[in-house]
Amino acid sequence: MDNYINKFLIYLDTERKFSLRTIEAYRHDLGKFSSFMRSIQKTEISEVTRADIGSFISSLTKSAGVTKARKLSTIKSFFNYLAQADVLESNPATHVIAPKISQREASYLNSEEYQRLMQTVRDVATPYFWQRDLAIVTIFLHTGIRLSELVSLTLDSFDLSERKIVIHGKGDKERTIPLNDEVALVIEKYLTKRPSVSNNSLFVSKLGTGLSGRSVYHLIKRYLEKAGIKKEKLGVHSLRHSFGASLLNKKVNLVVIQELLGHTKLETTRRYLHVNQDELRTAVDTLVFKK
């Protein structure tokens, strides 16, 4: 089985152009599945049954529903690949039902919290990193890009004269996001303070190396904590939620939000942006037809 897993990962890299981070996630999930199959004395890919896959998902008792769903999605992609390559006569993952995922309200910042976070960065950032950190937080909140997309930004990603940024997202898909004046200005100011290093990464450390995702993750968590903003699972992704939620509150078309966030499916955007019962009630109450 491991031989087929390796071929699948190579396919994701060379044919699908998936990011290294995504491929590593696939490797991890399929490694867990392979270990489970060995534990039940099955090592051949042809021996895997629908029941085996279901048993593996059920064995993940300490994992949240979203984690189980992700692992099942990985397994389905793997077996779809094998079926298309004629390795298997039938696909054992086809009819395995995904676990239910609880629909929790997305954690995002309201207007007051947004202002508080920005002010916190201005107040507590060290002078050396002040302009850099302000630019990072501003870009997150005004473009909705992912953490992996932010750390991949280079000096060539921006066209400040045209007020736009080119993002290379999941699956190496490219999208262009317009920049408002606030973002363009904060980037221009940061570039005047950015260390003169050979590294082409937009955001660099004091040593001149590109910032890692882990570094930015902890940076944002620190500023959120310093700002006293406490919500469930609040972190870098919350800033992406904040961008999407702000657009939704301003009545921006959901298809436009989908394009800006880089979602392949509109359904992903619908799940991503929580709509509460009060908003549903308000929408229904507007449907008043006079005779």
Q: Are residues 123 and 158 in the same domain?
A: yes
3-state SS, residue 241:
helix
Helices 111-124 and 213-226, packing angle to 10 deg: 110
155: which 2 tokens? 């000096």
Give the contacts of 285 (CB within 8 A, at least 6 positions apart): none
CATH number of the domain that residue 75 is part of: 1.10.150
Q: Is the pLDDT of residue 41 over 90?
A: yes
Q: Are residues 182 and 232 in the same domain?
A: yes
Within a domain: 89: no
> For 243-256, what is each residue's pLDDT tens digit?
887 887 777 877 88
> For 108-149, what is each residue's pLDDT tens digit?
787 888 889 999 999 999 888 999 999 999 999 999 898 999
Within a domain: 91: no
Q: Are residues 7 and 123 in the same domain?
A: no
3-state SS, residue 61:
coil
How far, CA to CA in Å, does 137 sit from each of 128, 133, 222, 229? 16, 6, 12, 15
Residues belonging to the active site: 146, 170, 237, 240, 263, 272
Within a domain: 280: no
3-state SS, residue 189:
helix
pLDDT score of 278 = 47
The total number of structural domains that make up the chain: 2
CA–CA gap between residue 50 and residue 96 (Å, rounded): 6
Q: Select the more confidently predicted residue: 103 or 247.
A: 247
- Whether the pTM exceeds 0.75: the reply is no
3-state SS, residue 35:
helix
pLDDT score of 272 = 58
Within a domain: 283: no
Q: What is the mean pLDDT of the chain?
A: 84
The answer to whether residues 36 and 53 touch, using CB atoms and an 8 Å cutoff, is no
Q: Are residues 50 and 121 in the same domain?
A: no
Within a domain: 142: yes
Which range has the worst mean pLDDT, 26-35, 95-104, 196-205? Answer: 95-104
Q: Are residues 253 and 138 in the same domain?
A: yes
Domain span holding position 29 = 2-84
